[in-house]
A = this chain, B = another copy of it.
Amino acid sequence: MTGESVLSRVVRILEAFDPENPALRLSVVARRSDLHIATASRLVNEMVGLGLLARDPDRRIRIGVRLWELASRTSPTLGLREAAMPFLEDLHDVVGHHTQLAVLGGREALFVERLSAPGGIVNITRIAGRLPLHASSGGLVLLAHADPDLQEEILAGALTRYTPQTPHSAQQVRVLLAEIRRTGYVFCPGYIDPAAAGIAAPIRDGTGQVVAALGAVLPNDAHARAQISAVRAAARGVSRALGQAL
């Protein structure tokens, strides 16, 4: 084996798929993963044989059910998700629209669960989707309790502005993070979409460490703030459930 390892090529193949493109032709897989078509073909065939990928009747390739199963049955977020689900459901019954659960995934918020109402307000998160830490309510809660090195790295980087309301200076974000640590929640009116407001609160494990953020996305109107208490109470419920499970 020369140069790059088989496994890093396999990861590049898996990275070729995204929610807008869940099924790809071999030539597109090869291009997106920057592999020779012969190499891509050989690896894809082997991955299909092992169930890591699947081939549709039209020969397009997608993620295999077996890979999903292997990754999900002992997923590192499964305990969190199972502890959170009853609270997400209760919150969803009360708030409507969207309730969701985020963890730190590298330098972004990774959404590991979401409940949505048909016709709920616009919400760009999806399950296994990502949002920047400085602009999303879940991300801000996670950033407020993250390693100081990560905080400095994010504050020193590009703070993309989605709307005029998005916090876009390091100073603005610093003030928000301090406020989150003091109050235990964040309220984000129109930070990502002018029509939507996000609310999030931290989930702590039995040792008191923040391990996730629980949030709601709802219409950005005069009623949005009224749901802050419900989000905070749900996050506390999940924290208590996690603590008891330890």
Contact = CB atoms under 8 A, between A and B. Distances in A.
Interface stretch (A31-39, A85-93, A145-153, A165-173): A85-93
User: Assembly of this chain: how many copies?
Assistant: 2
A72 B89 CA distance: 21
Interface residues of A, number: 56
Contacts of A5: 6, 46
A227 interface: no
Interface stretch (A115-123, A156-164, A180-188, A195-203): A115-123
Contact of A68 (B22, B52, B77, B89): B77
B74 A19 contact: yes
30 contacts: A6-B6, A7-B7, A7-B47, A7-B52, A10-B10, A11-B70, A18-B73, A18-B74, A19-B74, A22-B78, A63-B76, A64-B76, A65-B77, A65-B110, A66-B105, A68-B75, A68-B112, A69-B105, A71-B71, A73-B126, A73-B129, A75-B128, A78-B127, A81-B127, A82-B116, A85-B116, A86-B116, A89-B89, A89-B115, A93-B93
